[in-house]
Structure 1
């Protein structure tokens, strides 16, 4: 009887040792490179200049600029939270992001989404993604501006595109 107990304990110890030796290694992570591509960084600098000029001319409103904001943090599916429809709609946007967003500094409400389109936006898969983002923004009542990647940007042109009608930027 003692041998059976010892054999059982030995089997339990061996099973525990095997589980310990065969457990998956912990995930490792490495720091990624720059948050923005060179084109996005260039465009961001021009937008920041345009925003600074607008902020200086308006004492009542300021518009902070944020980069790489997850779409699902800006819009919500219009279904009961947790329902199959909500989950399906959420999954469509949860892995996507806006290149840039402008917010109302008082409320942090997103007032404008901005997409910077490079040559990849000619691909079929990217065009489907763009169509989804356009549709989502339209349904949510979120203004979306698209800019093509260029070698050089003019602050006045970007400013005119972004703030041509400043009243549309204000939130209630």
Structure 2
């Protein structure tokens, strides 16, 4: 990945609302591994991809719903073990008390295929992998949140951001 295509640590903090220590922790536990380039005064330049911004924001949204990072790791572990794509940014996750559900929507045959929810995490680890029926509105669009953060930021060069962002809000 080209450094120009990524986002610096400072930009990432502004766009995702995460602190430097939270980004360091996400890397330490292996959830988000940024790219490193060269050594500028003994320190490499740390760069995050667009996809990583979306992932960090998805994790932040879960944390705002009181989902622990341990539970986030359990969700990713479950998705890995079940051979699903383990990215959180493209999952519609719903938190109900201490349980997390993944809503899969298939509207191709609405009569037979209602949206389904798959339990992917629970503090008690009961019923993981079970499908349940939930009727809920869609979650906030993460891409829109990042664009709004970039537009409102005094740190981000918005014109440069528009060139590096890989998706625009709907």
Instruction: Specify if TM > 0.5.
Output: no
TM class, shorter-length: under 0.3
Using the size of structure 1 for normalisation, the TM-score is 0.23
TM-score (norm 2): 0.23
